[in-house]
Chain A
Amino acid sequence: MTYSFLRLAAEALRGQTGWTPAWRDPEPKAEYDALVVGGGGHGLATAYYLAREHGITNVAVLEKGWIGSGNAGRNTTIIRSNYLLPGNEAFYEHSMKLWEGLEQDLNYNAMVSQRGVLNLVNSDAARDAAARRGNAMRLHGVDAELLDADGVRAMVPYLDFDNARFPIKGGLLQRRGGTARHDAVVWGFARAADRRGVDIVQNCEVTGIRVSNGRVMGVETTRGFIGAGKVGLAVAGNSSRLAGMAGMRLPIESHVLQAFVSEAIKPLIDCVITFGAGHFYISQSDKGGLVFGGDIDGYNSYAQRGGLPLVEDVMEAFMALLPLAGRLRVLRSWGGIMDMSMDGSPIIDRSPIEGLYLNTGWCYGGFKATPASGWCFAWTMAKDEAHPLNAAMRLDRFASGALIDEKGAGPYPNKH
């Protein structure tokens, strides 16, 4: 069923009785051409682009819970392409372009809002770094503007500009960045994949990966064995566990990242703001809640909840940036499990096992990458080779030394 204004009007006249489920709930078949493990944004996007770009429609997405129940529903919904390094920037800009046409492409309202992403700077050194990043972006054909303090003040006058410790000196603005409704992204990709014949199998946990003579044969699941010549893992947070089923160790640690939403207030923040002096980012949802987050807790965790010291750290940054936070109540907080890679950048690549593909290491930047991640992973799975956009996101870069370390932090996952 295609969604349109006409359909909406027709359904309004007949009491909304004609809507059908947005995707089927099929029993898994015994065999598929390709399996995607993980029904989050990345996995569903992969299945969608396998069908749309490569004509591979005999595909199933296997999800242990319900689709979007992991990190896809736990992020702070920010989309942007303001990266520095060549291996990253073209990829994230491709993602940004896919976001820009996503709703028409999927026939689904993902509430993509290009409201601008403003990265504040609080020192001369930070301004130099922002200028360098902005120049790198522009060399890749991406929009970036360096604002001075007055420019920032004109946009968001309610910040604490003259904070004695962290005065706001300016900011790097990407106007095309913004937010998207994360659940709608999952639902939109699921529906669009389903319409092209992809089976979305929920409540189906992978418990083993069957490998024979160095080749993947399929996966063991809680709903029986499912055979496939190609298996793609898009299971951020649990990548090490799944890869371990195939005897692999990954350059990944799982860490918890918390996020928060305040009670709803009237429209205040009409863009995304990040705080340069500490790790903090904030936007306002359409329901009025301020959605914000900060650093990871910093120690290996598979618990989808975080600790209080990090809550305190995030709230301190919030207060330093926006003193009005002191009058605001926090409504909810939650945690998601991140694949923290050893250089802070993702891996979209083949694995040493033939027919087994890896999509992992998104650290806490996976949401914005959703369309391009699926697009590149589908390409890699379909053609058994990387697309130029993900050519640098190799698994063997840790052996070759061709790392993509945006922060230059070294092989310490909790420092990225």
Chain B
Amino acid sequence: MRIPCPHCGERGHEEFAYYGAADPRRPDADAPLEAWHDYVYLRDNPAGPHRELWQHVHGCRRWLEVTRDTRSHAIAAARDVAARGTA
């Protein structure tokens, strides 16, 4: 599997560290406990397109949001997390 890093070009995935699903967003500090439980523990875990976070640890060290199909490992998109804003 090769990940197209927007800064370094296409690289083998062994250069990257995997974090997990990109969609869960950190709740506010005073959000109810249930929101924190969902954020920390629950996952959609789709069989299909999956937005996920990878860090290019052996390259530019930037965090990327990669959209990959979990059935075929085909990567549809990869962008720097800075590009997705804070919303």
Contact partner of B18 (CB less than 8 A), chosen from A249, A299, A303, A398, is: A299
- 0/1 per residue, A296-311, Cβ < 8 Å to B? 0011111100010100
A252 interface hit (Cβ, 8 Å): yes
B8 interface hit (Cβ, 8 Å): no
Cα A251 to Cα B24 in complex, Å, equals: 13
Contact partner of A254 (CB less than 8 A), chosen from B1, B38, B41, B70, is: B70
A413 interface hit (Cβ, 8 Å): yes
Residue of B nearest to A396 (CB): B37
Cβ of B20 and Cβ of A253 under 8 Å apart? yes
Residues of A within 8 A of B18 (CB): 298-299, 414
A241 interface hit (Cβ, 8 Å): yes
- In chain A, positions 395-416 with a C-beta closer than 8 Å to chain B are 398-399, 411-414
Q: How many residues of B contact A (CB 8 A)?
A: 26
Contact partner of B41 (CB less than 8 A), chosen from A251, A307, A309, is: A251
Main secondary structure of the interface of A (DSSP, over half): mixed
Cβ of A249 and Cβ of B70 under 8 Å apart? no
Residues of B within 8 A of A319 (CB): none
Cβ of A251 and Cβ of B43 under 8 Å apart? yes
Given the interface pairs A253-B45, A299-B52, A300-B45, the reply to whether A309 lies near B70 with Cβ below 8 Å is no
Cβ of B71 and Cβ of A303 under 8 Å apart? yes
A180 interface hit (Cβ, 8 Å): no
Given the interface pairs A300-B52, A309-B13, the reply to whether A252 lies near B40 with Cβ below 8 Å is no
Given the interface pairs A302-B70, A303-B70, A414-B18, the reply to whether A250 lies near B37 with Cβ below 8 Å is no
Residues of A within 8 A of B14 (CB): 309
User: Closest Cβ of chain B: how far from A160's Cβ, in Å?
Assistant: 25
- 0/1 per residue, B52-84, Cβ < 8 Å to A? 100000000000000010111100000000000
Cα A413 to Cα B71 in complex, Å, equals: 18
A240 interface hit (Cβ, 8 Å): yes
Cβ of A414 and Cβ of B20 under 8 Å apart? yes
Residue of A nearest to B19 (CB): A412
A342 interface hit (Cβ, 8 Å): yes
Residues of A within 8 A of B40 (CB): 342, 398, 411
Given the interface pairs A254-B70, A299-B52, A302-B70, the reply to whether A398 lies near B43 with Cβ below 8 Å is no
User: Closest Cβ of chain B: how far from A29's Cβ, in Å?
Assistant: 29
Cβ of B45 and Cβ of A252 under 8 Å apart? yes
Cβ of A301 and Cβ of B41 under 8 Å apart? no
Cβ of A301 and Cβ of B43 under 8 Å apart? no
Given the interface pairs A302-B71, A303-B71, the reply to whether A240 lies near B43 with Cβ below 8 Å is yes
Cβ of B70 and Cβ of A301 under 8 Å apart? yes
B residues near A (Cβ < 8 Å) are 1, 12-14, 18, 20-21, 33-34, 37-38, 40-47, 50, 52, 68, 70-73
A residues near B (Cβ < 8 Å) are 238, 240-241, 244, 249-254, 298-303, 307, 309, 342, 398-399, 411-414
Given A299-B68, A303-B71, 4 more pairs with CB closer than 8 A: A238-B47, A253-B20, A254-B70, A301-B73
- What are 27 inter-chain pairs, A to B, with CB distance below 8 A? A240-B43, A240-B46, A241-B47, A249-B43, A250-B42, A250-B43, A250-B45, A251-B41, A253-B20, A254-B70, A298-B18, A299-B13, A300-B52, A301-B70, A302-B70, A302-B71, A303-B73, A307-B1, A307-B73, A309-B12, A309-B14, A342-B40, A398-B41, A399-B33, A399-B41, A411-B41, A414-B18
